[in-house]
Amino acid sequence: MGYSLNPDQTAELLNRLAEDYRIYAPKRFPKQGRYSDTDIIRYDRIQTPDEIVWDQKSDYPAKEVISPIQQALFYFTEDEYRESKKAKKPVLLLARPCDITAQLVQEKIYAENGGFKDLYYDRVHNKVKFAVMDCGGGDDTCFCVSMGSNKPENYSLAFKFDENGLKAEVSDDCFADYFDGMPEDDFTPEFVEENELKVTIPDLSDRDVRLALKSHPMWKEFDKRCISCGSCTVACSTCTCFTTRDICYGDNPEVGERRRVTASCQVAGFDQMAGQREIRSTAGDRMRYKILHKFHDHKARFGDRHMCVGCGRCTHMCPEFISISATVNKMADAVDEIKASLADGGNHVE
């Protein structure tokens, strides 16, 4: 069922929904950007429709609502512990198609990897309903169509905001009552069919090609350009890596909490092991790891789709202007070169 709401009716709808849901959406934080007098847009709890930023991509991803940057997992006192309390009220998350598709990847890692379901993820995730927001085609860093994330399936509501209010489609009956008395309209969501930016992912099924790619000089570029800050992975819609920290209260080591904290494969020390050994000790190595993880390894392991959803937030947030799409295209060129060289008698590219 479709509806067309004016601004007052939109506010009324949110009021009704807020009785039963905590509503999260992209919200503007004025002057909190990396540079002076720039804003950031990130997901946060909203109360009124004018807080929702629907005409611009958020700087940080929707995943923060479900798996926040930091969270207390449990509290301990001597030999006892107690789980952190879970929020009772369900969440309605207004997110873009790429954000919603990204949740399939998050779910895969947190709930379906290695036969273990992450309790702290699961108990939040189970309480989330999605409203897909029309993105108007995104911006020049978006390549969701190339990554097949432009048409999500798992959503309860579809919203299209504009200056005149909201067009909505209810696809999950449990939301029907909230629209009682609202003007009906034959709205159905449309998803972006083509991005300005297109990415071709090279075929890496050949082990020899992968081995040659690993030592290809293309990665050395990032030793100089990448500052290993991790902005890309914090902004990534699909990255799930975290570390845990036990924090003791005051000077008493018997009392404290265990926290989950976002980690980044791009930050030096991420893969440091006992004896101080690091597997990927240069920025180029770390970039290669990330790119291959997003555009080969994940799919090779789970089979369904590449990890990257093409939301472009890593490109958008990189302070050094490293573009993930340009990097994938460079990798595609390197792979062509490697394949030609292998076909030409197997001379390994150095």
Residues near another protein (CB under 8 A) are 29-32, 34-37, 40, 42, 59-60, 68-70, 229-231, 233-235, 245, 247-248, 259, 261-264, 267, 317, 319
CB nearer to another protein: give 245 or 348.
245
Return the ∠ at Cα 306 (arms to 147 and 224), rounded to 5°.
Answer: 90
> What separation in angstroms does the CA of 339 have from each of 57, 209, 219?
38, 7, 17
Angstrom CA distances, 130 to 95, 97, 99, 138, 248, stand at: 7, 10, 10, 19, 37
Closest distance to another protein from the beta carbon of 259 (Å): 7
- Measured from the CB atom, the residue of 174 and 247 that comes closer to another protein is 247
Distances (CA, A) of 182 to 2, 16, 50: 10, 12, 19
Decide whether 110 or 270 has the Cβ nearer to another protein: 270
- Rounded CA gap, 306 and 298, in Å? 6
Least spacing, CB of residue 234 vs another protein, in Å: 5
Cβ nearer to another protein, comparing 176 with 247: 247
- Residue 60 to residue 53: CA distance in whole angstroms: 13
Comparing CB distances to another protein, the nearer of 183 and 319 is 319
Residue 305 has φ and ψ, to the nearest 5°, of -155, 160
Give the nearest distance from C-beta 1 to another protein in angstroms. Answer: 38
DSSP-assigned letter for residue 180 = T
Which CB atom, from 1 or from 229, has the smaller least distance to another protein?
229
117 half-sphere exposure, CB direction, 13 A CA radius: 6
What is the token pair recorded at 342?
A: 């292998």
Q: Which residue carries 């394949």 as its tokens? A: 339
Provide the b/e sequence for 181-214 (b: ≥16 CB within 10 Å). Answer: ebeeeebebebbeebebebebbebeeeebbebbe
Decide if 244 contacts 331 (C-beta within 8 A).
Answer: no
* Shorter beta-carbon distance to another protein: residue 72 or 349: 72
Supply the minimum distance, in Å, between the C-beta of residue 229 and another protein: 5
8 A C-beta contact, residue 335 and residue 203: yes
Name the residue nearer to another protein (CB basis): 53 or 192: 53
For helices 283-292 and 324-343, the axis angle rounded to 10 degrees is 90
**Nearest distance from C-beta of residue 231 to another protein, angstroms:** 4
Smallest distance from the beta carbon of 243 to another protein, in angstroms? 8
- Find the shortest distance in angstroms from Cβ 338 to another protein: 32
Closest approach, Cβ 50 to another protein, in A, equals 19
SS3 at position 75: strand
